[in-house]
Amino acid sequence: MTPHTASQRREQAGMAYDAYLATCPTRQLLDRISDKWVSLLLNALADGPQRYSGLSRKIAGVSQKMLTQTLRALERDGLVCRSVTPSVPVRVDYALTPLGGSLLPVMRAIKDWAEMHIEQVAAARDAYDSRSLGQASLPDNG
């Protein structure tokens, strides 16, 4: 019963939701939206509704299973809206809901950050890997 962490104390103090708590539903939501397919998917829907096959083309390398699975999860969470047009063949469109739209700026920011800083990260990886190699036998004179 005794609170061990600041987070737990904060919860008892009355703060509604805190993603630092393992039991908080926010944690599950954070887990869901912290997903590479989610970020790509929401970004892909930024310009307007898209068909299933259109999304599949736009997001290169996504399997049908993951696309369907991710879309279902986002639909259940109220972030995207699925509309079926009973034509032949059937046409399925996906669009952002207002709730999904409110997340879009964040998802866009993530994707933009990745594209803008990939070179710095690549450089950091090179440096780290070189350092690790040198560390193995201490060729640094000694």
Which residue carries 């996504």 as its tokens? 62
What, of its own copies, DNA, none, does residue 69 touch, CB below 5 to 8 Å by kind?
DNA
User: Is residue 24 at the binding interface for DNA, with CB under 7 A as the rule?
Assistant: no
What, of its own copies, DNA, none, does residue 80 touch, CB below 5 to 8 Å by kind?
none
Closest CA to 81 of 61, 66, 65, 101: 101
Is-contact 42 96, C-beta < 8 A? yes
E strand or H helix at 85, and its extent?
strand 80-85
Interface residue with DNA, options 19, 46, 81, 92 (CB under 7 A): 92
What, of its own copies, DNA, none, does residue 82 touch, CB below 5 to 8 Å by kind?
DNA
Half-sphere exposure of 48 (CA within 13 A, CB side): 0
Is-contact 37 62, C-beta < 8 A? yes
Residues 85-104 within binding reach of its own copies (CB under 8 A): 99, 102-103
Total chain residues near its own copies (CB under 8 A):
60
Interface residue with its own copies, options 42, 45, 71, 110 (CB under 8 A): 110
Question: What gap in Å lies between CA 142 and CA 130, rounded to an integer?
Answer: 18
Q: What is the DSSP string of 105-123?
A: HHHHHHHHHHHHHHHHHHH
Q: How far is the CB of 126 from its own copies (least distance, A)?
A: 10
What, of its own copies, DNA, none, does residue 65 touch, CB below 5 to 8 Å by kind?
DNA
User: Is residue 122 at the binding interface for its own copies, with CB under 8 A as the rule?
Assistant: yes
Residues 3-42 within binding reach of its own copies (CB under 8 A): 4-8, 16-23, 25-27, 29-31, 33-36, 38-40
